[in-house]
């Protein structure tokens, strides 16, 4: 994941609230006869080169790059006092 501002390209109203959509790997042992899970480890995150990001305002999801590009096109300036986006 990149440490860059995001801006939702769909609703264009959100720069703050996002979900990271990621895959996790969870190691487990099953009982070969009953199929029961007999042991399981904590899930670990599978790192992806370009993670999926979901906007928590409109639920749109897309590649991280789309959110970064939108923020670059329409940057938010530090001294902006208008909206709380």
**Stretch touching Zn ion by CB under 5 A, among 9-17, 26-34, 36-44, 46-54:** 9-17
Q: Which of 5, 10, 18, 61 binds Zn ion (CB under 5 A)?
A: 10
Tell me which residue of 81, 85, 80 sits closest to 5, measured CA to CA.
Answer: 85
Distance CA 46, CA 38 (A): 23
Q: Which of residues 51-80 bind Zn ion (CB under 5 A)?
A: 55, 57-58, 60
Structure tokens at 23: 């895959």
Residues that bind Zn ion (CB under 5 A): 8, 10-11, 14, 55, 57-58, 60
């Amino acid at each position: 994941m990149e440490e860059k501002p995001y801006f939702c390209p769909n609703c264009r109203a959100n720069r703050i609230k996002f979900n990271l959509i990621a895959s996790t790997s969870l190691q487990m042992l099953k009982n070969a006869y009953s199929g029961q899970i007999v042991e399981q480890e904590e899930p670990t995150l599978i790192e992806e080169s370009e993670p999926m990001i979901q906007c928590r305002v409109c639920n749109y999801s897309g590649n991280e790059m789309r959110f970064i590009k939108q923020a670059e096109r329409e940057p938010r300036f530090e001294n902006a006092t208008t909206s709380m986006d």
